């Protein structure tokens, strides 16, 4: 009683229904950590269900014997990792798992055994991926100015504990037109007299998206350029003095 005959039957069934030939592809499902998910089960309404057996990875998770006249549905959760966290919803007994943990990710399979002799059973497979909801992105700024040239600003966006499949984009708005730039680093330059643009970083993963507050690029340049002239001049002098000292020391050691 291997899985192969069932899969063969399933693909025959799919083909008969005019679906794509690749009936064995699991359904991709994503969910957020510590939240809940339903794995939708589709049972033809004219079929009478004997029982439903749910597997997670290689372990039998639960068995459901549907309600019949005078009898309640009998649900047996066989995998202790899911005890108290699973329920079966609706007329088709879709599996509902709450308080998801990282360990819940992976493959699930529902085998619906039917009473009809024409189709003895239906198999549905799912691949569950779990992601953390993103926290607000934080921004690191670096900038370079020199003389009369433009002030070059580089903004780097990141999210703590981001995990997999995170994408970053930068949005700026000028004359009511949004411009998007894909990637976590935005490099731009600003000259005195240029319009002051503001930027927002948006981070997304399959279960959430978050935006940073607006970051105006100009203050990083203007606040530092003029007051810093004196500071950088004295810094320059200090560097020269240190170099001279180093040279003298090198010479003295060399002698
Ligand atoms: C959810 O599961 C975690 C362990 O994975 C547990 O510490 C926490 O108490 C659970 N929360 C609820 C509401 O059951
Ligand atoms: C800013 O970038 C331009 C070209 O992208 C470069 O020519 C210039 O030297 C840079 N300025 C500074 C201060 O790094
Ligand atoms: C971002 O998340 C909100 C809910 O927080 C959702 O309504 C919106 O469609 C999402 N946008 C994108 C581009 O994913």
- Determine the distance separating the centroid of ligand 1 and the alpha carbon of 55, expressed in angstroms: 22
Q: Which residue has the higher pLDDT, 185 or 8?
A: 185
How many C-beta atoms surround the C-beta of residue 135 within 10 A?
Answer: 13
Other beta carbons less than 10 A from residue 67's beta carbon: 12
150 in contact with ligand 2, CB cutoff 6 A: yes
Q: What is the mean pLDDT of residues 220-241?
A: 48
Taking CA atoms, 235 is separated from 132, 144, 147, 152, 229, in Å, by: 46, 16, 15, 21, 10
pLDDT over 70 at 4, yes or no: no
**232 pocket-lining for ligand 2 (C-beta < 6 Å):** no
User: Ligand 1 site: residues with CB under 6 angstroms?
Assistant: 99, 101
Q: Ligand 2 center to residue 106 CA distance, Å?
A: 49
| pLDDT on residue 22 | 41
Ligand 3 binding site (Cβ under 6 Å of any ligand atom): 204, 209
Identify the residue whose C-alpha is closest to ligand 2 atom 9: 149
Dist. CA 234 → ligand 2 center (Å): 23
pLDDT of residue 194: 79
- Identify the nearest ligand to the CA of 81 by its number: 1
Residue 127 sits at φ, ψ, to 5 deg, of -120, 110
Range scoring the smallest mean pLDDT among 10-14, 62-66, 88-92, 178-182 = 10-14
Identify the pLDDT of residue 34: 97
How many angstroms is it from 86 CA to the middle of ligand 1? 13
| Closest ligand (CA of 152) | 2
**pTM for the predicted model, two decimal places:** 0.73
How many Cβ atoms are within 10 Å of 91's Cβ, its own excluded?
10
- Distance between terminal CA atoms of the chain? 91
pLDDT band, very low/low/confident/very high, at 243 (cuts 50, 70, 90): low
Domains of the chain: 3-131 (2.60.40.10), 138-225 (2.60.40.10)
Burial of 33 (0-12, 13-18, 19+ CB in 10 A): middle
The mean pLDDT of the chain is 81
Q: What's the rounded Cα separation, in Å, for the pair 192 and 35?
A: 49
Residue 133 is classified by DSSP as: P
Instruction: Give buried/exposed letters for 177-190 (b at 16+ CB in 10 A, else e).
Output: eeeebeebebebbb
- Ligand 3 pocket: which of 180, 203, 209 to mutate (most atoms <8 Å of CB)? 209
* Mean pLDDT for the stretch of residues 177-185: 90
Q: Which atom of ligand 3 is nearest to the CA of 208?
A: 2
């Amino acid at each position: 009683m291997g899985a192969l005959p069932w899969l063969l039957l399933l693909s025959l069934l799919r083909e008969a229904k005019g679906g794509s030939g690749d009936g064995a592809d699991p359904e991709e499902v994503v969910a957020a950590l510590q939240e809940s998910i339903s794995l939708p089960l589709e049972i033809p309404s004219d079929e009478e269900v004997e029982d439903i057996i749910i597997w997670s990875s290689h372990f039998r998770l639960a068995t459901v014997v549907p309600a019949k006249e005078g009898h309640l549905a009998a649900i047996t959760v066989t995998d202790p990792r899911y005890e108290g966290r699973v329920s079966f919803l609706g007329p088709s007994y879709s599996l509902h798992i709450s308080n998801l943990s990282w360990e819940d990710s992976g493959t699930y399979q529902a085998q619906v055994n039917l009473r009809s002799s024409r189709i003895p059973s239906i198999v549905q497979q799912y691949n569950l991926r779990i992601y953390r909801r993103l926290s607000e992105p934080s921004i690191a700024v670096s900038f370079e100015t020199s003389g009369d040239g433009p002030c070059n600003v580089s903004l780097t966006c990141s999210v703590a504990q981001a995990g997999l499949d995170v994408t970053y984009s930068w949005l700026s708005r000028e004359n009511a037109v949004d411009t998007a730039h894909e990637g976590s680093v935005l490099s731009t330059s600003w000259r005195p007299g240029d319009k002051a643009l503001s930027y927002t970083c948006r981070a997304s993963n399959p279960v959430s998206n978050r935006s940073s507050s607006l970051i105006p690029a100009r203050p990083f340049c203007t606040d530092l350029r003029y007051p810093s002239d004196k500071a950088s001049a004295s810094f320059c002098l200090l560097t020269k003095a240190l170099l001279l000292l180093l040279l003298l020391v090198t010479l003295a050691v060399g002698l």
